[in-house]
Chains A and B, each alone.
Chain A
Amino acid sequence: MENSTPLAREGLAEKSLKRPKRWLALDTSTPDVVMALVENEQVMFEQVFWSGTGHSEQILGQIDAALSLVSWRVEDLEAMVVGQGPGSFTGLRVGVATAQGLSWALGIPLFGVSSLDAWAWSAPMAATSWVVACVDARKDQVYAGFYRIEEGEIEIGHSEPSEGRGMVNSPEATDPKRCVAVSARCVAVSSPLLVSPWRLHEAIKQMPSALLVGTGVSVMSRVWREQGAVSARCSAVPVKLRGSALVALAQQDQAKGRLSEASWSVLPVYVRAADAELQVTRQEDEVWFAEEVGFLREVLFPSVSSASSAR
């Protein structure tokens, strides 16, 4: 055993001063385990594999295998990023606990990013005005994030998605044209929301054009079957969440000067409270429900709501 970093955090300050080059990304907010190894802007390895409820059994073995594929030792990692959800509670905790433990033990910074943001980054964005990232929340609800695409403004520093040495799961991910598409400015207009698919359907109907990504697509398609097609300009694409998107988001945060916190302060963003808490705070729940309606109205009629908020 090498005798660097005696007890974890001591080595962190020194390491986080320089821009980390070698990143490990993890997301376990869905039945997929999403992983990537990125060096600078180069995706060295990226994979999505379905593990159902077997995240705990598989994740470290898969990290080990990925590292050996690109010939890195675990000590070579310089930074980590983990998807904070929302998504499956237990799934999220497996990923976040792994990321906390690894980053702490290695004495490297850990960044947390929204899994919905990463879904939006993973989408091919050309020619739509909105991206809606939605993840199945069960109990007839979805977690949703709304992103406005503003053309013409180019965000620098997003990683090159092609030329990964590892397995890349979807064909469009290797399409060089996509690099242009993902560099369009993607603005998140809300923090993640928990909504019923019908309400989300109403919101999407009002968008001039929208692209729907995430595991919530299957929930939405049930609604569409009942309600008829949403709009000719709304499409749902079967993209997978990409680990390199998590790294890109973390690098962007870092470029904006956000510092990593202690590993243990990176926690899941559950959005939904535990059932027991909801039972205790049922009245508050009604208030929250009204807020949800208010927000969706804002999405639908931004001009009206901006006028009212100026009041």
Chain B
Amino acid sequence: MKTRYLLAIESSCDETAAAVIAIAEDGAFALRSSLVASQVDIHARYGGVVPEIASRTHLEVALPLIQDALREAQIQRQDLAAIAVTRGPGLIGALLVGLQIAKAIAFAWKLPLIGVNHLAGHLEAVFLEDRTPTFPFLALLVSGGHTTLYRVDEHGQYKHLGATRDDAAGEAFDKAAKMLGLGYPGGVQIDRLAQQGDPSRFPFPRSMMRQDQGLDFSFSGLKTACRNTLEKLALPLEPSILSDFCASYQEAIVDALWQKTALALQLQSLSSVVVTGGVAANSRLRSLFQNQCQKYGYSLFLPSRRFCTDNAAMIAAAAVPPFLQARFDDLSLNATGKLPLDPSALPRGPRRPPRSTQNT
């Protein structure tokens, strides 16, 4: 059997992406092209992603990007064996653009379609690298919308261990950056300013750190502490104070992420950990996890930055197992805004009384 090619499309938030991978007979795959059209500059003036504008922009750029991805991979349409596309979670209007284009192309070219969970994409991104973990391993998925620990026993088998009860880590970065007037996206700015700063200058709290509080995270207290600390300081902050502030704030987030990761490794008796998602591109997170894992003898797997932030290569990677097992979706595949990776996990957050089914 010859090499088969798979086209993947991603449009769940503010990045439009297309990628092509080559899949060998034994299931090993190699990336042939991976393009990302970022909308960061468009959303910067609004201080965050505006769903309607994101959706409009996806439709303007998706098809040319797909054409370029195929061209860069130097393949013909008849070389393609399947099309993979993100089906959720994400912004529903944004998802629909990529999904609908993918379905139309699959229909025209009579190709099987594979709907991929965006979060599975993040978790499988590590397999795009040369050095890959062996199962089972712990995965920390940390991005603007998610902060979750999973136990991964096999491709596609993710057990939810803990998650943030309020803000995601990426959200905590963005909200602090907004308070500091650093603009959007905040994580990148804080990362840059923190390079020269003293992380011990401001004592920011680490929430839910007691062992009996389990593997859930909380970052909303940190946000309040950020506001309270800022109120006591003269604004605008002097450059050196701003750097120290950013370094201290970043340290609090990254340290909390590490503490829970270490606890999960211990509780699950695992020795390998994968850190992925947009926040995994943060340089302090990368260095702290590298140091700690080395110190305690864990193997750390950090996908390169371009595979941590949203991209379509990871969607292609996550589509390989279903592709090899011929598990395909039909053309009625719909986008889903909320799509948990592990449906057995209990929903978190404030408890609501169960909805009565006996109302008349």
Contacts and interface: CB of A to CB of B under 8 A. Distances in A.
Contact of B97 (A59, A63, A93, A280): A93
B52 A93 contact: no
Contacts, number: 120
A7 B52 contact: no
A97 B334 contact: no
Given A61-B331, A102-B104, A264-B63, A97 B97 contact: yes
Nearest to A277: B53
A52 to B, nearest CB: 13
Give chain A's interface residue range (CB within 8 Å of chain B): 35 or more
Given A274-B50, A274-B53, A60 B104 contact: yes
B55, B56, B102, B109 interface centre (most CB from chain A within 10 Å): B56
A102 B53 CA distance: 24
Contact of B63 (A1, A100, A106, A277): A100
B105 A101 contact: yes
Contacts of A60: 103-104, 107, 331-332
Contact of B45 (A105, A106, A263, A280): A280
B356 interface: no
Interface stretch (B28-36, B71-79, B279-287, B344-352): B71-79
Contacts of B60: 264, 267
Nearest to B95: A56
Contact of B67 (A8, A90, A277, A280): A8
Interface string B75-118: 01110000000000000110011011111110111100000000
A54 B335 CA distance: 10
A232 interface: no
Contacts of A57: 332-334
Contacts of B92: 90
B354 interface: no
A116 to B, nearest CB: 20
Contacts of A275: 52
B59 A61 contact: no
B104 A89 contact: no
A101 B56 contact: no
Contact of B55 (A5, A7, A90): A90
A58 B332 CA distance: 6
Given A7-B71, A101-B101, A274-B50, A93 B108 contact: no
Contacts of A99: 104
Interface residues of B, number: 39
A102 B104 CA distance: 5
A276 B50 contact: yes
B70 interface: yes
A94 interface: yes
A188 B333 CA distance: 39
B77 A5 contact: yes
A26 to B, nearest CB: 10
B64 interface: yes
Interface in B36-52: 45-46, 50, 52
A198 interface: no
Interface string A173-206: 0000000000000000000000000000000000
Contact of B104 (A5, A97, A262): A97
Contacts of B78: 1, 3, 6
Given A56-B96, A90-B92, A274-B53, 7 more contacts: A7-B70, A74-B107, A90-B96, A97-B97, A97-B101, A100-B62, A275-B52
Interface of A: 1, 3, 5-9, 54, 56-61, 63-64, 74, 89-90, 93-94, 96-102, 104-106, 262-264, 267-268, 270, 274-277, 280
Interface of B: 45-46, 50, 52-53, 55-56, 59-64, 67, 70-71, 76-78, 92-93, 96-97, 99-105, 107-110, 331-335
